Structure 1
Amino acid sequence: MSTVIDKDMGYQTIISCLSRLHGTIKVGIMADAGSEKDGASLVDVAMYNEYGTQHIPARPFVRQTTETHRASWGSLSAKVENRVAHGMDPHQAMEIIGVKAEGDMKATIGRGHFAPNAPNTIRQKGSSQPLIDTGRMRNSVSHKVED
């Protein structure tokens, strides 16, 4: 008859680290982003552009970013989950994902494929690039990790 000896080999540490990997990563224009010079909330401006209005065509930068980068965010999540299993702080791991998603959303705003600006808007802005006038909305994209 043989005897089985159970050695932890770090398994309990890995399970402990992974059990702390929970929370939410929010990416976009947050409520505290401020407002435009005319007083319009940047959250409202982002929403008008994402979904469109009677006078503004939809320019879905949030949905476009999510559709384009969903797979790469999943791969990154798997990589950081592995790093958490080996001791990385779970909050730090989620920050890595948040920073990546924030950068991807800013890039989409800068070069996304959107309905073109109206000729009058182009004359006012001096540019045909949708969603970019002062850069304030794009620069207001941020992320927040909530444990």
Structure 2
Amino acid sequence: MAKGFNKTPEIIKELRKWSGIKGKIGILGDGELATIGAVQEFGATIKVTDAMRGYLASQGLFLRKETNSIEIPERSYIRSTLDDRNTGEAMGKSAKDADSLDGKQIMSVMCATAVGRIQKKMNSGVGPGLSDFTKEQKGSGLSLVDTGRLRNSISYEVVG
């Protein structure tokens, strides 16, 4: 091996910087927003109760007697954003730009980049589109943003 080409010490130093460090991205915790977020991310089948039937009727949506459940379609905003190649590239660039920081700080910068991209995706709307009834109730056709609470609950935590 030619002198000056042994990168092993640098690689080992870099790997030690990252040892055991993980980033958690999403709606952290187990409250109401986490439940709403999970329903939107993965979809859900909700059993229709008499109370729900009555409420929906009071809002102008009359369900058939044989309707026993309502389907909330999957609107993946976290997984689809993190799976997007552009998000990975943006996270990599943010890590490269922060290379003077320690491993936890770099992970924090990368996670913050991902959170911003998830929130941006939510602002642009995620399909499938909303039903006409839901659009009328919300006053808009934007699928994942109503008051902004769900979008603003997207955060991250660095552990390790």
Would you call these one fold, judging by a TM-score over 0.5? yes
Contact 2:87/2:114 (CA < 8 Å) preserved in 1? Answer: no
Contact 2:27/2:154 (CA < 8 Å) preserved in 1? Answer: yes
Q: Deviations over 1:5-52 (max 9, x none)?
A: x9xxxx8577445412131111111116x5xxxxxx111101111111
**Structure 2 gaps, min length 5:** 46-69
| Pairing partner for 1:47 from 38, 48, 65 | 38
- Aligned-residue Cα RMSD (Å) equals 2.8
1:133 aligned to 2:131? no
The equivalent of 1:80 in structure 2 is 95
Contact 2:125/2:144 (CA < 8 Å) preserved in 1? Answer: no
1: CA distance, partners of 2:134 / 2:98: 48
Distance 1:71-1:134 versus aligned 2 partners, 3 A rule: closer
More strand by share: 2
Give the secondary structure class of the aligned counterpart of 2:25.
strand
Q: Which runs of 4+ in 1 moved over 2 A?
A: 11-18, 70-84
Quote the sequence identity (%): 30
Give the secondary structure class of the aligned counterpart of 1:27.
strand
Give the secondary structure class of the aligned counterpart of 2:73.
coil
- Amino acid across the alignment from 1:104: R
Report deviation, 1:75: 6.4
**Structure 1 gaps, min length 5:** 1-5, 35-40
Give the secondary structure class of the aligned counterpart of 1:127.
coil
Contact 1:49/1:58 (CA < 8 Å) preserved in 2? Answer: yes
TM-score, scaled relative to structure 2? 0.68
Distance 1:13-1:132 versus aligned 2 partners, 3 A rule: same
The equivalent of 1:20 in structure 2 is 17
1:95 aligned to 2:92? no
